[in-house]
Amino acid sequence: RWFTHFYVVSVLWNGFLLICLFRAEFLRGSLPSWIQHVHHALGRDSQSEDTGKYPSYSDCEHFSVLLVLLLLWLHSCRRLAECLWTSVFSNGVIHIVQYCFGLAYYIAVGSTVLCQVPTNVRNGKQLSVQICWYHIVGVMMYIWASLHQHRCLVILANLRKSKSGKVISLSHSVPFGDWFESVSCPHYFAELLIYISMAITLGFHNVTWWCVVIYVLFNQALAAVLCHEFYQKNFSSYPKHRKAFIPFVF
């Protein structure tokens, strides 16, 4: 249940960044000065000078950042709502180091997205919105993965509820239905797909975001393996065909 704090921070922080970027896009404003300093520190100025020679690419790149930041904020809103009104948590605790890291992560990941915006936007130059094919593919994949993640979280929550919706147990049970038929932790797999969908929305080429995807891959895979081993250890009749994380693969 302490993960709820992560999503509260993410909704507030990434919502603020989204407003800043929206102002720069549609109101001819400029991004805050501290973002300009971060751009300069990361060498974004020189990178944008090259892409600035191609206006259509620059417009698509900027719209990609705006769209991904919106998707990240919506993802945080949904997860916060699920933590508050869907999930049924046990009395487990979280290590203080993991808690602090989680808070820092959700601040850093939104800032990472915003730092991909072209330099000419922070100078107050308004860009036109240009939708590219990878925006459509990325958003469709995002919606698909998000729906399945929500369904899987509802299945987990219902294991501890009666038909009337009242919580009757905090013990663990074996889930069935949706992607649970293939893997032990489909909600972790869906999380990975959501981040991959954002990489696609950024146009495939954004190395920085692919580094984020790799982090999510290892983080979620580790958690999935631990859960998978827990199921196998505590339930003798646990389905042997289920993988831990990725259907039919791992």
**Res. 120: pLDDT tops 70:** no
**From CA 244, how far away is CA 228, in angstroms rounded?**
5
Say if residue 1 is in the same domain as residue 120: yes
Q: Which of 87, 105, 131 delimits the end of a domain? A: 131
Rounded to whole angstroms, the Cα distance separating 169 from 232 reads 21
Q: How do residues 140-183 score in pLDDT, each as one tens digit?
A: 999 999 999 999 999 999 999 998 989 999 999 999 999 999 99
Are residue 103 and residue 178 in the same domain, yes or no? no
* 146 and 184 assigned to the same domain: yes
In terms of domains, do 125 and 138 share one? no
Residue ending a domain, among 113, 131, 149, is 131
Structural domain that includes position 177:
132-249
127 plus 183 within the same structural domain: no
Query: 138 and 125: one domain?
Result: no
Q: Specify whether 69 is located in the same domain as 23.
A: yes
Q: Are residues 86 and 103 in the same domain?
A: yes
In a shared domain, residues 110 and 93: yes
* Residue 133 confidence (pLDDT): 93
Q: Quick one: 95 and 176 in the same domain?
A: no
* Domain shared by 67 and 185, yes or no: no
- Answer with the residue of higher pLDDT: 151 or 47: 151
Which tens digit of pLDDT belongs to each residue from 222-242?
999 999 999 999 999 999 999
Torsion of CA 72, 74, 79, 83, to 10 degrees: 140
Of the candidates 95, 116, 131, which is a domain's last residue?
131
Q: What pLDDT is attached to residue 54? A: 39
142-160 in b/e burial notation, b at 16+ Cβ within 10 A? beebbebbbbbbebbbbeb
112: Cβ–Cβ under 8 A, 6 or more apart, which residues?
A: 208, 209, 212
**For the chain, how many structural domains are there in total?**
2
Give CA 173 to chain center in angstroms: 27
201 and 101 within one domain: no
